[in-house]
Amino acid sequence: MESVVFIDGAFYLKREAKVSVFDHGFLYGDGVFEGIRAYSGRVFRLQQHLDRLYASAKALMLDVPIPPDEMADIVRESCRRNHLSDAYIRLVVSRGVGDLGLDPRKCAKATVVCIADAISLYPAELYARGMAVVTVPTRRTGTDQLNPRIKSLNYLNNILAKIEANSAGVAEAVMLNAEGQVVECTGDNIFVVRGGILRTPPPWVGILEGITREVVMDIARDAGVPVREEVLTRFDLWTADECFLTGTAAEVIPVVRCDERVIGSGEPGPVTVELIRRFRAFVQAEGTPIG
């Protein structure tokens, strides 16, 4: 059965799902989005994702034409109509149709799109044996230029870094800020373990405050693992006992090599393995029922 996509109040077959070429999301990346997961018939952390979506829209002075409770229903209905109990959901709010100029006032109404489908961001074997990453020359856009807490449609900064990762023959790139501090990867937050302490960059260095990041920090504390938000440099990655990435699509994935340096034993470490196990159990037990 062909999947369906929600666009501005109606569901369309995938092959018929279209937005205008004059939409400012298409022309200028003017809009916001959320990537959301559903597990075993429940949408995981739906309220937190919606809170972030509406906060990002407010920062852009983008009026979302659908209230949050109705948006939640659209997410759940998208899963139901596509017969998905496990899904990746992409919720997009763009500025809407305007003219060829930049002025957002020319866009009368925002466009709302909800896609429910499957996703496999990384090959399954990388979750078992770990992945390699590189730090790249492309620096993360500064918070004084475009605050990364706004989850916008403009991902060119991340795409340039991803191109550099592709050129290096690895699956992911680690991005630094202008001061050379570790920020995040192109689509994931980053953690290291050293001396039994879990460490991750603080929000003020320029990260997107990931929802999976927050969940993993809570799970780690519950498991008795000390958690610290602190500034990291490449040295901290190279000399870590363990390293892993987190994200809605990626979930929790081990990193065993950075810039050709082997991390720890070269295999996923015990803290990482335990957090993956706990995370996978946690997402099966919590969430908003699809219904």
Span 236-255, average pLDDT: 97
Say yes or no to pLDDT of 267 above 90: yes
Query: Tens of pLDDT along 66-78?
Result: 999 999 999 999 9
Say yes or no to pLDDT of 21 above 90: yes
Q: How many CB atoms lie within 10 A of CB 1?
A: 7
Say yes or no to pLDDT of 121 above 90: no
- The residues facing 7 across adjacent strands are 10, 113
- List active site positions: 151
Percent of the chain with pLDDT over 70: 100
How far apart, in whole angstroms, are the C-alpha atoms of residue 221 and residue 195? 15
The C-alpha angle 180, 183, 187, rounded to 5 degrees, equals: 135
Q: What are phi and psi of 287, to 5 degrees?
A: 145, 170
Span 190-214, average pLDDT: 97
**Predicted local confidence at residue 152, as pLDDT:** 97
Q: pLDDT band at 167, cuts 50/70/90?
A: very high
Cα–Cα distance list, 120 to 185, 192, 206 (Å):
17, 24, 27
Gyration radius of the chain's alpha carbons: 19
Enter the tokens of residue 132.
């390699």
- The residues facing 39 across adjacent strands are 42
Span 109-113, average pLDDT: 98
**Predicted local confidence at residue 119, as pLDDT:** 85
CATH 3.30.1050.10 fits 124-285, yes or no: no
Q: pLDDT band at 120, cuts 50/70/90?
A: confident
Q: Is the dihedral of CA 178, 242, 173, 261 positive or negative?
A: positive
Q: pLDDT band at 93, cuts 50/70/90?
A: very high
Query: Tens of pLDDT along 24-65?
Result: 999 999 999 999 999 999 999 999 999 999 999 999 999 999
Q: Which of 270, 274, 242, 271 is nearest to 255 (CA)?
A: 242
How far apart, in whole angstroms, are the C-alpha atoms of residue 119 and residue 25? 22
Cα–Cα distance list, 27 to 24, 151, 238 (Å):
5, 17, 40
Say yes or no to pLDDT of 205 above 90: yes
Q: Which CATH architecture does the domain made up of 4-117 adopt?
A: 2-Layer Sandwich (3.30)
Domains of the chain, by residue range, sit at 4-117, 124-285
**Predicted local confidence at residue 77, as pLDDT:** 98
